[in-house]
Structure 1
Amino acid sequence: MSPRIDPVAEGVILAGAGRAILLQLARPEVGYGVARHSDFARNPMGRLNGTLMYVYAVMTGSDADREFAAAFVSRMHTPVHGPGDDEAPAYDARDPGLQLWVAATLYDTALLVYRRALGNPPTSIEDELYRRYAALGTALDVPSEAWPQDREAFSAYWRSASQSLHVDPAIRAQADELWRATAAPWWVRRLMPLNRFVTAGLLPPDVRDGFGLSWSPRRQRRFDRLWTVVAAVYPRLPAVVRTAPQRYYLGRLRALRRRAPGTG
């Protein structure tokens, strides 16, 4: 029997990265913080690399990995704040409520993609995923009691928090620039049409419409066929392939940690 793969290390979950990012941007206090303090739309790999190093360190790394990653992200968050004005709401990247939303988008997306590629997981794995994704927020400024107590409570939180989503022209422009990825490597730009298609199919319809991502019954059929192929092929890949992103990003983070002053 082949060894069990850590569910949070399944590389296919990365197919939902675009969905998670757009759901985060659709929360105005997050979207304007990103728009005014980041160039991720021009170069999405920078933000993606940083996010994935943090995700894998917190959920699959050592104590030293988690501490280093959390401290790094906290430093990056510190200058990201604004008082609000006629164009934007007040925002603060250290706000526990906003960090909770970001962690929630990562969990909700991971579970959605996991089900698409690997089928509905056993309750034990769903519970494990839920528990471990909580750490993405609680490793920063989210109090442990703020993460919904169980998956049923999370569903209620998700429905409520989703009512606060709003995509205005400035936020939509961020997404439009993201698809162009002008400062990203050529191979990232070549993959953007596929990424946009997958992201559109995974998004809730109202958020998809807000970002101007066209959809139709024909696109839905293509989307479903794509996931049928993924579900047939991905589970048959060797574990070393399915977990390659985790090893890569943990390796990158550990290399940074070794070079950091005061660490060994």
Structure 2
Amino acid sequence: MTYTVAPHADHGIFGPDSVTWKVYRFPTSVSVGFQRTALTEMLDPFVVASVDDSGSLRDRPAVRYDRTLQYTGTLVFGGSAAAVEAADTLMRIHTHVRGVEPLSGTPYDPNDPAGQLWIHLTQWHSVLYVYEKFGPGPLSPQEDEQYWAECRIAAAFQTIDPDTVPRNRAEMRAYYDRVRPELAASPAAIEHVRIILDTANTVFSAAPGRLRVLRPALDLLARKATIATLPRWMRAQLGIRQGAVTDVVVTALLRPMFRIAARRPQIMTEMLRTVSPLAYPVIAPVALDVSPLNSETVPVDEAWRRAGRPTPREQYLSSQVDREAVAAR
């Protein structure tokens, strides 16, 4: 069956000349890269508390996967207006979410810039790391510089202070070193890690036709491959064990599979349609080189101006002023 792929309104925020598109278009991003991101996020107690209180991962893991991939795909590949709308909607949803992180007894806010920075950076680092491990290899120095510059651009879709976003790999490593003492794996985090690994949805596990009999093996391979990307200290905190030999074997097996998949985007997008029907119409037009209605690539500030909405950062700072004013009464 052939499905019509509707074009985006424009090239969005990054466009075809971006390193972001180059990295995120590779099939590692929606599979192992996405799973690595989800696992790494579980080391932030405040992120875990928010996810745990919502119950979305525990009760509806497939739905959460689908919606999260849709959101990420919209910001990276969608038209500029769609990207702004997605970020603005999530910002407003988060304004109504509050709770207490049980380990510290400290209130959490999903819109807190520090928490959003953690989520943002774990995604951008994970997607790049897996791309280089299983895909074409390291970016060139020029591409690497551009990728981290685009990472800072993407931060404008969240409440993040732009001055806190790393400008290169060295600053990214320094960020991990800085926040590592604050990371912890609560019982809820361990539970969520198990759910992520046990119910992992990957494009490979949606193999069509006769290849469906291979799904258990592909699921296991994807699980092992995701673990192989985690440093030892993360595995120890998350309660994950896997030997070095397994790491080497799954990497050797998956690297040629991903490279073959990258040359067959039609097959990959059809698999994506099965595992993430919400993300499919967002990612497929770019993966299949469907030209947008307008070939324009829109700067992020211009996209928010056209929408007539303040950026998430501006909204957050304004809300903080309002809270302080109420507290002072």
The TM-score normalised by the length of structure 2 is 0.65
How many Å apart are 1:17 and its aligned residue? 1.5
Q: Provide, for residues 44-73 of structure 1, a one-character-per-residue CA deviation record: whole Å limited to 9, x for no partner.
A: 222222222222222222221111110222
Q: Is the 8 A contact 1:42 1:177 kept in 2?
A: no
Judged with a 3 Å threshold, the aligned counterparts in structure 2 of structure 1 residues 131 and 57 are, in CA distance, closer, same or farther, namely: farther
The answer on whether the counterparts of 2:224 and 2:247 sit within 8 Å (CA) in structure 1 is: no
| Gap regions ≥5 residues in structure 2 | 1-15, 207-214, 284-306, 308-329
CA distance in 2, matches of 1:137, 1:177: 28
Q: C-alpha separation between the residues in 1 aligned to 2:81 and 2:235?
A: 39
CA distance 1:46–1:124, change in 2 (3 Å): farther
Quote the residue 1:127 is aligned against. Answer: 145
Which structure: larger Rg? 2
Pair 10,220 (structure 1): closer, same or farther in 2 beyond 3 Å:
closer
Partner of 1:258: none
Partner of 1:95: 112
Given the alignment, which residue of 175, 178, 183 partners 1:160? 178
Structure 2 match to 1:257: none
After TM superposition, list the pairs within 5 Å mapping 1:180-191 onto structure 2.
180-181=198-199, 190=216
2:70 aligned with 1:43, yes or no? no
User: What is the identity percentage for the equivalent residue pairs of Structure 1 and Structure 2?
Assistant: 21
Contact 2:225 2:247 in 1 (8 A): no
Q: Matches of 2:232 and 2:97 in 1, distance apart?
A: 30
Q: How far apart, CA to CA, are the structure 1 residues paired with 2:74 and 2:65?
A: 14
Find the aligned partners of 2:255 and 2:165 in 1 and give their Cα distance.
33
Contact 2:66 2:279 in 1 (8 A): yes
In the alignment, does 2:91 pair up with 1:64? no
* Structure 1 residues 232 and 69, CA gap change in structure 2 (3 angstroms): closer
SS of the residue 1:94 aligns to: coil
CA RMSD of aligned residues (A): 3.4
Cα offset for 1:39? 1.9
1:90 aligned counterpart, secondary structure: strand
- TM-score (ref. length: structure 1): 0.79
2:221 aligned to 179, 194, 209, which one?
194
CA–CA separation in structure 2 for the residues paired with 1:41 and 1:192:
19
- Say whether the 8 Å CA contact 2:117–2:165 is kept in structure 1: yes
d(CA) in 2 for partners of 1:86, 1:16: 29
Count of residue correspondences: 250
Alpha-carbon distance change, 13 to 181 in structure 1, aligned in 2, over 3 angstroms: closer
Q: Indicate conservation of the 8 Å contact 1:28/1:89, yes or no.
A: no
Q: CA deviation at 1:18?
A: 1.7
For the structure 1 residues 86 and 115, does the alpha-carbon distance in structure 2 shift closer, same or farther, using more than 3 Å as the test?
closer
Distance 2:92 2:196 in 1: 24
- Residue identity matched to 1:58: L
Contact 1:32 1:88 in 2 (8 A): no
